[in-house]
Amino acid sequence: KAGVTQTPRYLIKTRGQQVTLSCSPISGHRSVSWYQQTPGQGLQFLFEYFSETQRNKGNFPGRFSGRQFSNSRSEMNVSTLELGDSALYLCASSSDGWAGGGYTFGSGTRLTVV
């Protein structure tokens, strides 16, 4: 059973640019959540998509956006990058978001903004 696939694994971008990250959940899972992990703030929730709809959103500025496609793959976009956006971005897959079986995380995308 394939796991959660995140691409790319590493990215280096310049301030002001934009970036798109991709997450393919486990087959059959319809919920994809995105988290930002930094040494200072820890793991913070960005948003959750379920069946192509944003179902929940964390306290991040509007520069952070996402979407989900009919095959449950999700993308996350960050526009006008700032140095503080440097982080490990993780997506989590679950069957319904209310996961008695837990959430499975992808390997993450390490974004560095210079």
Partner 1 sequence: ELKVEQNPLFLSMQEGKNYTIYCNYSTTSDRLYWYRQDPGKSLESLFVLLSNGAVKQEGRLMASLDTKARLSTLHITAAVHDLSATYFCAVSNYGGSQGNLIFGKGTKLSVKP
Q: Using CB under 8 A as the criterion, which residues of the chain lie in contact with partner 1 when the complex forms?
A: 33, 35, 42-46, 48, 56-59, 90, 92, 97-108, 110
Q: Which is nearer to partner 1, 70 or 98 (CB)?
A: 98
User: CA dist 102 to 38, 65, 85, Å?
Assistant: 22, 24, 27
DSSP type of residue 28: T
Q: Which two tokens stand for residue 19?
A: 């970036």
* Nearest residue to 24 (alpha-carbon basis) of 54, 65, 88, 68: 68
Question: Which two structure tokens, joined as six digits, stand for 75?
Answer: 């993308």
Residue 63 beta carbon to partner 1: minimum distance, rounded to whole angstroms = 18
Q: Which is nearer to partner 1, 44 or 79 (CB)?
A: 44
Nearer to partner 1, 17 or 112 (CB): 112
- The nearer residue to partner 1, 10 or 17, going by C-beta atoms, is 10
Are 67 and 73 a contacting pair, CB within 8 Å? no
